[in-house]
Amino acid sequence: MQIKAHIITIGDEILYGQILDTNAQWMSQQLDAIGIKVTQRITIGDVKSEILETLEYSEKRADIVLITGGLGPTEDDLTKPCLAEYFKVGMEINEQALGEITEMFRRFKKELTPLNRLQANLPSNCTMISNSLGTAPGMWFYENQTVFVSMPGVPFEMKEMVSTYILPKLQEQFELPRVYHKIVKTIGIGESWLADKIKPWADELPKDIGLAYLPSLGEVKLRLTVSGKSNNLETRVAEEIEKLKVYAGKYIYGYDSDTIESVVGKILLERNETIATAESCTGGYLAHMITSVPGSSAYFLGSVIAYSNDIKMSQLGVQKATLDAYGAVSEQTVIEMSEGIRRKYGTTYGMATSGIAGPDGGTPEKPVGTVWIAFSGPEGTRTRLLSLAKDRLLNIQASAKATLALAWQTFSQNS
């Protein structure tokens, strides 16, 4: 039987968008990894009636209800009294909790205020969960066949409780299946074209292996999910990926945490080759993507960002005649830029970008979003024309990613 969990986040600051709810994502990952299915996440404000209603709602639908937030010492924190009311029990000072809070204040040489003493006041039906990093204890309840866990919202306090106490106790209490996810990363093809291409494979996929499309800027990820008790989940998924390669192999650049910049970097490292960039419209973002990979200094030597035509000429050797005849945003210019940087920095490969990132600067022939990219190496120079949209930042990011994709495509065709 699939064990279901709800995650309830309590806090006005999340509802108003003042902070990002990273806790819920982290808890989802932890539960998923031990085979518990999160079926719903709910965020509510510091309002008693909403907390009570949501507890009842979740109890009806889930085996496990994880609650964060609303446990601080100040007046707007309501979770504990709500839990006591919900379970129809009183509050009492938990001696173990009081001992731990007292000890923490002693250690930090601070005075224990009456407000802090109240943090040891807990609903009488709970099992106290130690908080080794803060003063608000967690609470474990088991009522009406449902586990309720209440934790502080401070991320590192919550994470410590989940890792050391809550996950092991859930694994003890429930019989859980194994769940295995594999992410296949593709580039150079849109979601619907990819779906068309791999339809014969997707139609034949065993029913218990789930498939999801996760598109993001310039790439599409495929997620394969399978769960069960057997030990061969990895093998079964690996076999399906081999079959998938027949239809879409040439678009698959990596798996799981791979990125196009890390994959290109790995190829360069293995080949003991180097790269440099010559950037106009990407303005350094391409170099930033490459250097965001730890250890990139082994293959990335540097860049020339040439926003002005003077610098394109003086630093990259672009010919004045080329700029006059074709303009800065042209195939001829990116070819000269990519070959120029390769020569100047003495690298195996050179990459170049030149385009109109926007929002202004377009013309009827070259509207905003027109970008030329080039990749130059010992075997010649390849170029590509991109027709992007109106958003400056997205155009910059998409152009840089497309240039890395062009490098990867060149490598994989030649290998």
State the greatest distance between any 2 C-alpha atoms of the chain, in Å, as a whole number.
86
Helix (H) or strand (E) holding 262, with range, is helix 260-271
- Binding mask 195-234 toward a second copy (x if CB under 8 A, else -) reads xx--------------xxxxxx------x-----------
Tell me how far, at minimum, the Cβ of 412 lies from a second copy, in Å: 23
Instruction: Select from 88, 172, 207, 294 the one that contacts a second copy (CB under 8 A).
Output: 294
Which 3 state secondary structure label does DSSP give 216? strand
Site membership for a second copy, residue 247 (CB under 8 A): no
Nearest to 338 by CA among 280, 412, 271: 280
Site membership for a second copy, residue 331 (CB under 8 A): no
Instruction: Select from 103, 108, 364, 413 the one that contacts a second copy (CB under 8 A).
Output: 108
- Comparing CB distances to a second copy, the nearer of 74 and 414 is 74
Site membership for a second copy, residue 176 (CB under 8 A): no
* Cβ contact 128:122 at 8 Å: yes
- Comparing CB distances to a second copy, the nearer of 74 and 144 is 74
Q: Interaction with a second copy in 333-392: which residues (CB under 8 A)?
A: 345, 357-360, 387, 389-392
The angle, 0 to 180 degrees and rounded to 10, between the axes of the packed helices 331-345 and 309-316 is: 40
Site membership for a second copy, residue 243 (CB under 8 A): no
Fill in the DSSP letter of residue 250. G
Phi, psi (rounded to 5 degrees) for 68? -120, 150
- Comparing CB distances to a second copy, the nearer of 13 and 208 is 13
Instruction: Select from 90, 168, 190, 249 the one that contacts a second copy (CB under 8 A).
Output: 190
Tell me how far, at minimum, the Cβ of 25 lies from a second copy, in Å: 5
Tokens at 338, concatenated: 């990519």
Q: Interaction with a second copy in 117-146: which residues (CB under 8 A)?
A: 132-133, 135
Tell me how far, at minimum, the Cβ of 410 lies from a second copy, in Å: 22
Nearest to 220 by CA among 241, 243, 192, 246: 192
Site membership for a second copy, residue 406 (CB under 8 A): no
- Comparing CB distances to a second copy, the nearer of 230 and 308 is 308
Fill in the DSSP letter of residue 119. G
Instruction: Select from 279, 350, 351, 411 the one that contacts a second copy (CB under 8 A).
Output: 279
Instruction: Select from 34, 45, 177, 362 the one that contacts a second copy (CB under 8 A).
Output: 45
Instruction: Select from 13, 95, 239, 242 the one that contacts a second copy (CB under 8 A).
Output: 13
* Long-range contacts of residues 85-91, Cβ cutoff 8 Å, at least 24 apart: 85/52, 86/52, 86/55, 86/56, 87/123, 87/125, 87/141, 87/143, 89/123, 89/124, 89/125, 90/123, 90/124, 91/121, 91/122, 91/123, 91/124
- Comparing CB distances to a second copy, the nearer of 125 and 366 is 366
Tokens at 310, concatenated: 């003077």
Distance of CA 169 to the CA centre of its chain: 28
